A and B are shown apart, each in its own frame.
Chain A
Amino acid sequence: MDVLCRRFEGQVALITGASRGIGPAIARRLAAEGADVALACNTNPELAQAVADDIAAMGRKAVVLQQDLTVVRGPNKLLAAFSEHFDRLDVLVPAAGKAEICALEDMTEEMWQRSFVIHLEAVLQTCQASHPLLKKTGGRIVMLSAVGAKAAFTGYAAVGAAKAGLDSLMQYMASEWIKDGIRVNGASLGTVDSGILEEWEIGPRVRRFIENKTVGVGIAKPEDVAPLVAFLAAEESRYLVGQNVVLDGGVTLGIDFEQWVRSAYGADATFAQDAKA
């Protein structure tokens, strides 16, 4: 997809979780529209560096910042490192996350807390640490949430609940920081083909389910998320405050009785007797 608009000329974006999955696609998109980019990651800095090299080849500045955001003052250290390379911050996308699949009954306290620290606490602290810089530029924050915060998905409780906390945090942040000229919105995502499915035992079933539900569209690619994030980060969405835009290919939209029944019981199934019984 050719990017024709250049909405971020002269601006700087900080993206966490920028080594794998959705983060790199967002970084590339913002850079393609003129932004200089800081790529924050914890593991796999060499992957983030490859993204940075691509962005540098576009003629933009790109810096990799390695930082564990889950440790005490981790986000503050990230912003301190950021400030060594850039003198302004216009767009913050806290995209770092790691979804682990587990039923509530088998959940350990450690796994539960891990999810809340990476998906929520680290995001709060990254936003807090970015606030002074964002206030100077009239900056934007784009949160990455999940439709699993609203509807229950198999084994997704620890992430879904943390993302519900994030959605609420996003509302509070948006309503409190709009007076500082900082605009906060979110993208509420369905399943994205970000590499995470390969780590889940139920990955192949999730993929099949999404492909059945989104006939002819398929599972979302990170490149499908990036344009929405860019829009929410751009001046043209200036009147959008504290909103979550659902991007899920229609998976949580509506109920298709027949499609569900046929995918569960086969294309030729008839239910006249069962349904009455």
Chain B
Amino acid sequence: MEFSGKVALVTGGTRGIGLEISRRLAQQGADLILVFKKDVENANKAKAEFEALGRRVQLVGSDLRRSAGVDALFEQVASGLDQIDILVLNAAFGTMGEVLRMGRASWRASYDTNVLSPMLTARAALPWLKKNGGVILATSTLGAHTAYPTYVAIGSSKAAMETMVRYMAFEWAKYGIRANSVAAGPVETRAIDWFRDGDAVRIFTAKKGLAGRMGLPGDIAEVALFLCSDQSRWIWGQSLLAEGGILTGVDYDDWMEENVDRSEFNPGAE
């Protein structure tokens, strides 16, 4: 299996996209260190599931927004699996709201979780990642590349994170560490309902997107796994967009809907 003998540390790995990435890594042979803030119940479920596959799983509950939480995490890593080959920076947070209403505290909270925390975490993981030439993979959002409604705190902080990851690639290539990001379009997770109208996001994605449906956590996890694997060995410091084709064009007049016979592209469809 692709990841046999490897250990992956996944932040926010107990639900949503993080859980799907963890699951696939476990299915492909990786042992896991799952870091969560409060989500004990899902963490225990994931642990049981992956252990049933024969994997070693270490759960660490820690708040990585402060360096004390980061220190606590890596003390536990040292006394636990004591190995990190793959670091998945996935934990995310953000306050929804427009630019004009974005207060200092909300802004800081987003940047603490989405930028400062991954920086502190990656740096603390360096001694392990250096040993065998590790991989860093960060999950980002299409909202870092284009403006979504009420999404500035998340989009902007993820843009900063993607650039930070590029700098990690640039500075740590000398240790054989490869760092990339995957930027996801709208995906069916609990965060969709943080938008004013979650259903509008779902319908937009399914109707405008070339893929013709809402995104699923697994769609992003597959890209993440590719970027964690040796198959992506020639990709360094990049952000890969995975967005179901919602960004491809401007559909002024429902041209796609009215003039394109989709059955042509989907042989067998009615």
- State whether B99 touches A177 (Cβ < 8 A): yes
Contact call B147/A171, Cβ cutoff below 8 A: yes
* Set of chain B residues within 8 Å of A120, measured between Cβ atoms: 111, 156, 160
A104, B167: Cβ atoms closer than 8 Å: yes
Q: Which residues of A contact B151 (CB under 8 A)?
A: 172
Given A104-B123, A157-B171, residue A164 in contact with residue B162 (CB < 8 A): yes
How many angstroms from the CA of A103 to the CA of B104 in the assembled complex?
27
Q: Which of A127-161 contact B (CB under 8 A)?
A: 127-128, 131, 149-152, 156-157, 160-161
A150 near B107: Cβ-Cβ < 8 Å: no
Query: Does B163 lie within 8 Å of A164, measured CB to CB?
Result: yes
Across the interface, which residues of A come within 8 angstroms of B170, CB to CB?
152
- Cβ A172 vs Cβ B152 within 8 A: yes
Interface of A, helix, strand, loop or mixed by DSSP:
helix
- Interchain CB contact under 8 A, B147 and A107: no
Q: Is the CB of A162 within 8 A of B107?
A: no
A161 touches B99 (CB 8 A): no
Q: Could you tell me if B160 and A165 are in contact, using CB atoms closer than 8 angstroms?
A: yes
B107 to A121, Cβ gap below 8 A? yes
Whose C-beta in chain A lies nearest to the C-beta of B157?
A165
* Cα distance A120–B160 in the bound complex, in angstroms: 10
Give the contacts of B101-134 with A (CB-CB under 8 A): 102, 104, 107-108, 111, 115-116, 119-120, 123, 126
What is the minimal beta-carbon distance from B8 to any residue of chain A, in angstroms?
21
Bin chain A's interface residue count: 35 or more
Q: How far is the CA of A113 from the CA of B162 in the complex (A)?
A: 17
Whether B137 sits at the interface, judged by CB under 8 Å, is no
A160 to B152, CA, bound (A): 18
Once A104-B119, A109-B120, A176-B99 are accepted as A-B contacts, the answer to whether A160 and B156 lie under 8 Å apart by CB is no
Say how far A119's CB is from chain B's closest CB, in angstroms: 10
Beta-carbon nearest neighbor of A184 in chain B:
B99
Is A82 positioned at the interface, with any CB of B under 8 Å from its CB?
A: no
| B94 nearest CB across to chain A (Å) | 12
Q: Give the residue of A125, A127, A161, A164 whose beta carbon is less than 8 angstroms from that of B104.
A: A125
Q: How far is the CB of B7 from chain A (nearest CB, A)?
A: 22
Q: Is A275 an interface residue (CB 8 A)?
A: no
Q: A116 vs B111: C-alpha distance in the bound complex, in angstroms? A: 9
Number of interface residues of B (CB under 8 A): 39
Which residues of the partner chain A approach B73 to less than 8 Å between Cβ atoms?
none
| A214 interface residue per 8 A CB criterion | no
Does chain A have a CB within 8 A of B229?
no
Minimum CB–CB distance for A145 against chain B, Å: 11
Are A176 and B155 in contact, CB atoms less than 8 angstroms apart?
Answer: no
With an 8 A cutoff between CB atoms, is A234 at the interface? no
Interface SS majority for chain B: helix
Contact flag A72-B104 (CB < 8 Å), given A104-B171, A152-B237: yes
Q: How far is the CB of A74 from chain B (nearest CB, A)?
A: 11
- Chain A residues lying within 8 Å of B237, measured Cβ to Cβ, are 152
| Contact B167–A157 (Cβ < 8 Å) | yes
Tell me if B269 is interfacial: C-beta within 8 Å of chain A.
no
Q: Give complex CA distance A127, B162 in Å.
A: 24
Q: Which residues of B contact A112 (CB under 8 A)?
A: 116, 119
Q: How far is the CA of A199 from the CA of B170 in the complex (A)?
A: 23
A168 B156 Cβ-Cβ under 8 A? yes
Q: In the bound complex, do residue B171 and residue A161 qualify as a contact, i.e. CB atoms below 8 Å apart?
A: no
Does A169 have its Cβ within 8 Å of any Cβ on chain B?
yes
Nearest Cβ on chain B to A32's Cβ, whole angstroms: 32
A105 within 8 A of B: yes
B-facing residues in A79-128 (Cβ within 8 Å): 103-105, 107, 109, 112-113, 116, 120-121, 124-125, 127-128
Q: Does A173 contact B (CB under 8 A)?
A: yes
What mask results when residues 145 to 188 of chain B are scored 1 for a CB within 8 Å of chain A, else 0? 11100011001111111111011111110000000000000000
Contact of A150 among B100, B111, B163 (CB under 8 A): B163
For B167, the chain A residues whose CB sits under 8 A away are 104, 152, 156-157, 160-161
Please give, as numbers and ranges, the residues of chain B lying within 8 Å of A169 by CB-CB distance. 99, 152, 156
Residues of chain A contacted by B49 (CB below 8 angstroms): none
Q: Are B171 and A105 in contact (CB under 8 A)?
A: yes
Name B170's closest neighbour in chain A (CB-CB).
A152
A161-B158 Cα distance, complex, nearest whole Å: 10
Add 20 more A-B contacts to A121-B107, A157-B171 (CB < 8 A): A109-B67, A116-B111, A120-B111, A120-B156, A121-B104, A127-B99, A128-B99, A160-B164, A160-B167, A165-B111, A165-B160, A166-B156, A168-B155, A168-B159, A172-B147, A172-B152, A172-B155, A173-B99, A176-B152, A242-B147
User: 6 A-B Cβ contacts within 8 A?
Assistant: A109-B67, A160-B164, A162-B160, A171-B146, A175-B147, A177-B100
